[in-house]
Each structure stands twice: as structure tokens, then as C-alpha cells.
Structure 1
Amino acid sequence: MSVTVRFAPSPTGFIHIGNVRTALFNWLYALQSGGQFVLRYDDTDVARSKTEYAEQIAKDLQWLGIEPHRVEYQSKRMASYDEAAQKLKDAGLLYPCYETADELERRRKIRLGRKLPPLYGREALKLTQEEKAAFDAEGRKPHWRFLLPNFESDPFTTKRTEIVFDDAVRGRQAVDLASMSDPVLIREDGTYLYTLPSVVDDIEMGVTHIIRGDDHVTNTGAQIAIFEAMGAKAPQFGHHNLLTTITGEGLSKRTGALSIKSLEESGYEPMAVNSLAVLIGTSENVFAVPDMAALSERFDIASTTKSAAKFDPAELDGLNETLVHALAFDDVKERLGAAGVDISDARAQDFWTLIVKNLKKVTDAGEWWPIIASAKASDATLEGEDLEFARSAFDYLPEGEISDQTWKSWTDTLKEKFGRKGRGLFMPMRIALTGRAWGPELADLLPLLGREEILARRP
């Protein structure tokens, strides 16, 4: 069987790291099986769906290294949903309900007051044609519910009806349809909730595996019932654990928390994001995986734990640093130029080799280039005896070409002349040369500066 998976985001905001966890699980599953990955925009909510969000989702996936084999828009497939809805109506499985939100809430409270589960009582099934016509005449628009198969002959006498499925992550799962209200598939304004379009698309697009967050486990029972009502076999499901913020809060597109767009703009490497998004909350150790192929080899959907996983940006920083330190000049040349490094300068490649071990992000190199190319920073200053020492030290800069041996020769002389050593010697010199109290090896820095620039930095 050829594997087909799908990622179905709603273009109502910027996707975040939690959304991408689902996208990556599907993408890696497809990679492992040589299958197909469908990007399907759930854009039936016309009021909230925006073209700019859909475009950003495509950019985000491309940045991460996910390349859809097929792209679909649910807004362009309304005829298929209308046909499916009519089929269910004709079968008596999709029925109109005229209750207002206030009426439904009152009924819910009454049931709770009687210590009954707050389920919909299927009162709309008792409406006569005359009553429905009266509601229509007064301008009420019905919403439409799917009649769950949780009864024998009388829909008002439900019985335990288990939908059992083998979850690729969680193992055997059982959902009792009698514990659920008949789900609303069509709103009062005639627009579809995601459930019916999702099932129709999965059938028509040949989706074989649905991999998504475990907040959908209960929904799966109703969806399998709809698949069967449509005369189709449901795909295999896999429900992975969700990601939360470090404080345990859920992620939301509305708040923009940990959006992929913001992570890219902050200078993170895509594989740092991928590594943490996939490996956190699994039995695998979290480490910086260099590329998607290697991540595919490490990915095991069954190793996902059942409890939610907290996404810690500090952990992302560590992974990012590891990946950056392994990057060659040619890997980052264009990004260095965008960060302000003059990549046409003959020193640019040596600069990268020198500075990379001091960087957390590639963009940080832009802060160091001016210190090398033009003038020292002003992050740290000298005073007192350290200032006097540094001023005098420049008188002992060795003659001849500045090489990787110049620093040792220079500091050997300074130790002898001033009796300084260790931090007392090195730190004033570092601050004098760079304006910072930390940074790359000075032995490697001096050749990049050259004699003229070194002497120009005498404090």
C-alpha cells in the first residue's frame, strides 16, 4: 500500500512549533515509506482565512525542508462537500437543528443540574415538518448534525457503541459513541466545520494515514463513523502528544507564540527547530540532527510519549549553536552578506573560521565583522592600572609580518616586562583590541587585523 499523509493547517494565523510538530511527523513518515505528503489548506472559514497566512505557511514549510507533493485548498472543493452532505441527508444521517446557542446552553445546564452528561438530546429529530416550516418562516437557519450510530432502532435510546482503532502512537484505542453528542457538520450560515470536508478529502485524496495531535483522539470515533457512512474505510490514525510552552500553556496561532516565522526571523537554523520539534516528548535523546535525512532515520512515531512535552527555547539555543559551529563558509556565505559581512573582502572566509565558535546564530557574525573590519566595540572599557598597562603594551608589538605566532611572541615579552600573566595580561589586551571582554582567540585575530589596525587600537 502506498502511503499518503496530509497536513491540513487553517490559514488563520502564523503556524507555530506545535503545528510544525504535526507537519514534521507526517513528512518524516512519508519519507520513511517513500510516500506522498499533501498540504491541504483548511480554509473553509472564509471570514478568518487569509491569503497571506497561506503564503506564509508555504514559506515556513519550505524553510524547514518540507516539500509537499500536492497542494490543495478546501475552499475550491465545495462541490464535493455539498455532494457528500446531500448523500448523508438523503440517508437520514444529517438532520437539521434549529436551537439557538442560548437554548442549547440552557439544556446543557439542566442536564448538568440533574447530574447527567451534557449531551445533545436529539430533540430536533422530534420536529414535525410543520414546526420546521415555522422556524424557516421566522428566519431561523438550521445547523446540521450527524446522527451517530449509537443506538439499535430508537435514536433516543442510546447504547454503548465502541469504535475501536489501532493508533500508530497510542496503541489500541476505544471511543464510546454513546458518550458523545451528535457532531455539528454544517453551521447555521451553511459553512462547513472541518469534520466533513476533512473526511471527504481524505477519501478522495487517498489518504492512508492521519497523523495529528492527541487532542483529536475522541473526535476520531465520530470521524470513523462518518467514513463508514460514506461507504469508505477509515485511514490508520496516529495521535502524537502536544507541545506546550515552558510554563505549560498551550500554543496558539492567535498569540503568535513560537511561530515559525518568528523563529526564522530570530536567526535559528531550521534543523534546530526540526530536531527539537520532533525529538522532544519521545524516548529519543534530543540532539542537533544535521539534516532531514538523518532525522528521518532517527524518527520513530511509536516512541512518542503520551504526556505533553514542554518546548524550552533555551534548549533550542543549544541545538542551534551546535549546528552553527559545524557550518562551513560556503554554507553561510549569502546569509553573512545579508548580516552585514563584506563577503567580497579577502578576509571574509578566515573571519568566519575565526568567529564561528563564538556564535549562537549565523546572524551574530554581523556584530563581529565591524570589530574586525573597521573599529573595536565599546562593550567593555579599561581604567586604572589595566588602562596604563594596555597603552604601554602596544610599544612591544613584535616587528615584521603579523602571523599566528605574533600573539605568543607579544605576550611572552609582556610577561617579562610587566610581570603580568593569565587574566591580568590577556583581558586588558582583549578589551583594548576588540572592545569586548570575550571573543575569538587573539592569536588568530591579529593576522586579520594587520599591523596598522592593531596599532590604531591603542587605548
Structure 2
Amino acid sequence: MPSPSPVHVRFAASPSGYLHAGNARQAVINTLFARAHHGRLTLRIDDADTERTRTAFEVAIEQDLAWLGIAWEDKINQSARRARYADAAEALKKSGRLYPCFESEEELAAKRALRARRNLPPLYDRAMLSLTPAQRAAAEANGKTPYWRFRLSDGAITWTDLILGPRDIRLDTVSDPVLIRADGMPLGIFASIVDDLDTAITHIIRGEDQIAATAAQIEVWRALAPKKPLPEFGHLPLIAELAGTKSTKRGGSVSLRTLRRDGIEPTALAAYLARLGTRRDPEPLTLAELAANFSLDAFARGTPRFDAKQLLALNRRVLHSQPYDSVADRLPEGATEQFWCAIRANIDLLSEARHWWAIINGPIDPPEIPEAQMILQTALQTLPDATPDAPWDETTWKSWITAIAAQTHTSGKALQMPLRLALTGETHGPELAALLPLMKRDLVINRLERAL
């Protein structure tokens, strides 16, 4: 018995806009599936329709995938394969499976409307199958150019979906699909199968919105290459914010560009998308760590919901463990490792580092705290000097707060909150023991005086 082919998956993206969370989730899952099975990932750029696609978006797609940590072994562009699609179409024409059609959009709409009035499903009636050679010649003589439909067979298409389980689609409930437009442009349903055949794709993992096309694609595959084994299919339920809507790749809050600009870390986003829709809680893991125990069996059949709060919580966990070297080039100019270690446990987004950099360097407008005058006056009187014997460092806060507590007979929140407000203008934030050494002593004095 021959050994199974090595796993080979693909991520297909149309460069008609930016990637959104739904696209990225498919890319992440295909990547993890390939790594878990020591397989390959192909990046496919669906740019056959050059009027709808832009090179700039193709570049952006590659940048976004690289930002997520996704690498691909090879890449194909559909725009470079038009001749191959034409050859495949000719083969289907010769076998009688691809037939010409001349109806206009208005005529097709009228047919659908008539079927709707009769309470019939909007299926194509295959009227063009009975077209005689003379009728076709007459249509072409009148300036009409045919588009081409694929003649589906009778019966049903069945497969066991890797995520959704057994599927059974009766072909008499599906219209013969259009594969080639009148201008010769191959539609995605056709180009995709030709690409998958030529690149020996073994598993197709994509969104549930593509499941309706799967039966027709299986039929086309068998017509083109009856002896080649079919790939296995897995259809992911769509993310709730995308399901049932017309969200585009420019889709606002779910755009990768927006998430990146807002300060979401790539490790957090990839880890969140990898577990979204599974029974496993998201964890701040790398792609390599996620691939170690990745399985499509973990995905549920229900619609997952993109939870921004959960993503933010995961982002916080990622930042808390980030070493200085990994963020240094994105911190404010002059920010040190000491600064990063002081603030990283108290930020949700890296962009918040600029706020704390401004706080330790001033100026800020601390509130007046008249009810805490005794504490603030004592703080001014007991503020240590920076001397060789008592340096201004991480030990300063403990000795200072101890002296203030002893003289004012206060402790806990009643003692620390006025000092936090006076020094930072905030009610919450990084430990003052870590922030104080980052502030100049004159700045501390100024803020205490202004808060009195």
C-alpha cells in the first residue's frame, strides 16, 4: 500500500484589500496544521481578476503574514497562470462537461424571479444544454460571446469534513456553476481547483462560507483528474462578527492593520486566533509551541465570537513576559531596560509605554490633595538625598515610605494613594518603588509641592 502524500496546505488571499481577522485565522490554522504534520504551506495570491486586485495589497498581505510569524515554502500568483486555466477549460470542453451559455444577466434574473413565483429554488434550468450548433452560430453572429458552465452529474457528493463531520450534498440542489466568464476570465471555483491539482494540495482548510462550492469543486477535480486522490476538506465556522455580513478586508476593527496599529502584539493575535473556536483557552504561546499539540479535532462546530477583551487580556500576558530587546525599537527614544521592566506588568498595549515615559520625564499636572497635606509635607521633609552612601535607586522608595509612615502614623492605601497621585497623576500604575528611581529628584519635589 503506497504511503500517504506529505501534508501540503495552502492559504489563498485576494489582493483586493487588507487581511482581516477571519483571513488571518485561516492562515494561522493552515500554518499550524502544516507544522504539526511536518508539511508545507503554499501562499496563493488570487489575482486572476486584475481589475479588482492591486499589487499594493499583495505586498500588504505578505507583510501582515510575516508580522504574524507565518512563513510559506512557495508562492503562486493566479495572474501568471491564465494559460494553464485556458488549457484546463479546453479539456473540459472536449469532454462535454463545459458548455457555452448566452443568457444575459437580465434574462437570468427573470428566470430566477419566475421560479420564485412558483416557489421553486433559484436553480439554473440548463436551457443552453439544448442549444443547437446553428443557434450558437446565430448568437455569436449577433455579437454575443458565451460564458461557460460546468455540467454537474446526477446523484450526491459526500465527504467527511475534517471539522464539520459527514457532509452530503445532492447535486440536483446545485446550479451548474459558471467556470469561465464571457471575457475568458476563470472564476475562483475553477482556478482554485486547477491550482490545487497542480500543486498537489492534500488538505484544504478554509471558511464555512466556501462549503457550498465544495461539491462542485469535487466534481471539477474528478473531471480533470479522475485518477488523482481528492484532497481532504475542513471548513471552519466563521467568526461571529464576519458571519452573515458583508465585512470586507478593509473591515474596521477586525482589520489586521487596525489591530497592529492599536498595539496588539503578533504573538497575542496568532495565539488568540489559533484557539478561537476551540475548547482550549488562549495562551501566550508561539506558533511553534501551538503546533506541538495542534489538532483540528479541537474545533467546535458552533460560530465563535471574536472577543476584543479576551484578546486584550492575552496581549497583556504577552507583554508582561517580553524581554527588553524584543520591544526596544518600539519604545520612546531614550527608554531603558530599567524603564521597560518597571512598566511592562501594568500595560495592555505597547503604545501605553509612551504615557508612562511622559510621566517619569514630566511635565504632568498632579491634582491638589489638600486632605493629605500632612503626608505630602512629611514626604517633602523626609525625601532622601542622592549620595554615594544612599544612592537614588530601587531601595529609595522603601526607606522613604517607612520614614513617612513613622511620622504620620498612616499606612496602606491611605499613605500610598496621595503619593501616587502626586507623583504620577494616576490612581493606578506600576510599582512606585520601580518608578521613583526613574524620576529626577527635583521633579519629585516639584510634584509634591504642586499637590499641596
TM-score by length of 2: 0.92
Q: How far apart, CA to CA, are the structure 1 residues paired with 2:245 and 2:377?
A: 54
Do the aligned partners of residues 439 and 7 (structure 1) sit closer, same or farther apart at CA in structure 2, a change above 3 Å counting? same
1:84-123, CA deviations, whole angstroms, 9 ceiling, x for partnerless residues? 0111111111111111111111111211222222211100
Match of 2:248 among 252, 275, 285: 252
Match of 1:190 among 167, 176, 184: 184
Which residue of the partner structure matches residue 267 of structure 2? Answer: 271
Q: How far apart, CA to CA, are the structure 2 residues paired with 1:381 and 1:429?
A: 11
Which residue of the partner structure matches residue 51 of structure 1? Answer: 55
Which residue of the partner structure matches residue 155 of structure 1? Answer: none
Q: How far apart, CA to CA, are the structure 2 residues paired with 1:88 and 1:247?
A: 34
Q: How far apart, CA to CA, are the structure 2 residues paired with 1:294 and 1:277?
A: 14
Which residue of the partner structure matches residue 418 of structure 1? Answer: 408
Q: How far apart, CA to CA, are the structure 2 residues paired with 1:328 and 1:18?
A: 30
Which residue of the partner structure matches residue 349 of structure 1? Answer: 337
Q: Report if the CA contact (8 A) 2:19-2:250 is conserved.
A: no
State, as a whole percentage, how many aligned pairs show the same letter: 38
Q: Which moved more, 1:382-391 or 1:48-57?
A: 382-391
Which residue of the partner structure matches residue 157 of structure 1? Answer: none
Which residue of the partner structure matches residue 435 of structure 2? Answer: 445
Do the aligned partners of residues 221 and 44 (structure 1) sit closer, same or farther apart at CA in structure 2, a change above 3 Å counting? same
SS in 2 for 1:191: coil
Q: How far apart, CA to CA, are the structure 2 residues paired with 1:262 and 1:239?
A: 26
SS in 2 for 1:308: coil
Which residue of the partner structure matches residue 402 of structure 1? Answer: 392
SS in 1 for 2:51: coil
Q: Report if the CA contact (8 A) 2:253-2:259 is conserved.
A: no
Q: How far apart, CA to CA, are the structure 2 residues paired with 1:242 and 1:404?
A: 50
Q: How far apart, CA to CA, are the structure 1 residues paired with 2:148 and 2:252?
A: 33
Which residue of the partner structure matches residue 299 of structure 1? Answer: 294
Amino acid at match of 2:224: M
Please identify runs of 4+ aligned residues in structure 1 that moved more than 6 A.
none
| 1:424-443 mapped onto 2 (5 Å cutoff) | 424-443=414-433
| 1:36-435 mapped onto 2 (5 Å cutoff) | 36-150=40-154, 161-231=155-225, 232-245=228-241, 249=245, 251-289=247-285, 291-336=286-331, 340-343=332-335, 348-372=336-360, 374-378=361-365, 380-386=366-372, 389-391=375-377, 393-399=379-385, 400-435=390-425
RMSD, matched Cα: 2.0
SS in 2 for 1:182: coil
Q: How far apart, CA to CA, are the structure 2 residues paired with 1:12 and 1:75?
A: 13
User: C-alpha displacement at 1:388, in angstroms?
Assistant: 6.8
Count of aligned pairs: 439
SS in 2 for 1:96: strand
SS in 2 for 1:310: coil
Q: Report if the CA contact (8 A) 1:64-1:271 is conserved.
A: yes
Q: Report if the CA contact (8 A) 1:246-1:312 is conserved.
A: no
Q: How far apart, CA to CA, are the structure 2 residues paired with 1:251 and 1:23?
A: 18
Q: How far apart, CA to CA, are the structure 2 residues paired with 1:405 and 1:202?
A: 64
User: C-alpha displacement at 1:257, in angstroms?
Assistant: 4.2
SS in 2 for 1:172: strand
Do the aligned partners of residues 395 and 416 (structure 1) sit closer, same or farther apart at CA in structure 2, a change above 3 Å counting? same
Q: Report if the CA contact (8 A) 2:346-2:429 is conserved.
A: yes
Q: Report if the CA contact (8 A) 2:8-2:200 is conserved.
A: yes
Q: How far apart, CA to CA, are the structure 1 residues paired with 2:230 and 2:196?
A: 9
Q: Report if the CA contact (8 A) 1:387-1:428 is conserved.
A: no
1:324-352, CA deviations, whole angstroms, 9 ceiling, x for partnerless residues? 0011112222222xxx2414xxxx11111
Q: How far apart, CA to CA, are the structure 1 residues paired with 2:244 and 2:272?
A: 17
Q: How far apart, CA to CA, are the structure 2 residues paired with 1:2 and 1:246?
A: 33
Q: How far apart, CA to CA, are the structure 1 residues paired with 2:101 and 2:44?
A: 30
Q: Unaligned stretches of 5+ in structure 2?
A: none
Q: How far apart, CA to CA, are the structure 2 residues paired with 1:141 and 1:285?
A: 55
Q: Report if the CA contact (8 A) 1:144-1:185 is conserved.
A: yes
Q: Unaligned stretches of 5+ in structure 1?
A: 151-160
Amino acid at match of 2:173: S
User: C-alpha displacement at 1:383, in angstroms?
Assistant: 3.8
Q: Report if the CA contact (8 A) 1:208-1:235 is conserved.
A: yes
Q: How far apart, CA to CA, are the structure 1 residues paired with 2:177 and 2:373?
A: 76
**Are residue 23 (structure 1) and residue 27 (structure 2) matched?**
yes
Q: Report if the CA contact (8 A) 1:9-1:40 is conserved.
A: yes
Q: Report if the CA contact (8 A) 1:376-1:434 is conserved.
A: no
